[in-house]
Amino acid sequence: MKIFRNVRQKLAAENKVMAYLRYAFGEILLVVIGILIALQVNNWNERRKDTKFEHEILSLIDQNLKQDSISLSFELSRTKLAIHLTDRLLEQVALKNYGDSLNFWMGKIISFERFRSQSSAYEMLKAKGLENISDKKLQMALISYYDQSLYIVYQSMKDVELSFNKDWTPLIKENFTDFKWTVYCKPANSKEFFEKPANITLFKLYQDNRRGLVRNGKKALYKITEIKKLIKKDIG
């Protein structure tokens, strides 16, 4: 700015007021333009950083959701098998067939499923701020899955596990001579065990809890599919 200062002093000394004012205004204008350009560059850098973070976090969430889909689908396949085997068991019991097959079916039935979502990327996003996701539809879908759908799935699994601990465990201790997790359950007296109406009712109640888990699990899987499509649209 030394050159402007020299010119300004020379013009002022020569009483060329208007020319002096023009140069002074020019200096101010250059400073303002410089500030505006600096702000614009800074804003551009911030937007670039935000976009980079959004793409990176969505990529991580996408990976987490892929793992959730695999794990939850596996547990639901076990649940569906238990429901199917319960139907077969009840059919055989109604026919008073108490063969060894029922022991192996009960190994699959008298158990419970476990699932825990991979939510580390979502928790990271929440800590940074959900507003970092520019697509509001995607933002709401993430909230719906992680804060609602998963809660319902966990509650459904908890219902099944609670029934196992509260209802089945005492029954196994009192009426079974052998038990191997998800493999077989052997009653001391199959005929006596299956002819107790309370035991048959328990099979039906347990099956009903599992049906609820399948319904809620399917909804969660649908939500995962929806989110993955939105992520693909967002980050390409």
Per-residue pLDDT of the chain (236 residues; tens, 9 = 90+): 555 566 556 655 555 556 555 665 666 666 666 666 655 655 555 566 668 989 999 999 999 999 999 999 999 999 999 999 999 999 999 999 999 999 999 999 999 999 999 999 999 999 999 999 999 999 999 999 999 999 999 999 999 999 999 999 999 999 999 999 999 999 999 999 999 999 999 999 999 999 999 999 999 999 999 999 999 998 87
What's the pTM value of the predicted model, to 2 decimals?
Answer: 0.81
Please tell me the predicted confidence (pLDDT) of residue 2: 54
Which amino acid makes up residue 216? N
Give the pair of three-digit tokens for residue 90: 């009840």
Helices 17-94 and 2-13: angle between axes, nearest 10 degrees: 150
Please tell me the predicted confidence (pLDDT) of residue 193: 97
Please tell me the predicted confidence (pLDDT) of residue 33: 67
Burial of 102 (0-12, 13-18, 19+ CB in 10 A): buried
Please tell me the predicted confidence (pLDDT) of residue 168: 97
Decide: 89 and 223 in contact? Cβ < 8 Å. no
Token pair 């410089």 is found at 34
Per DSSP, the three-state class of 16 is coil
Please tell me the predicted confidence (pLDDT) of residue 234: 84
Please tell me the predicted confidence (pLDDT) of residue 160: 97
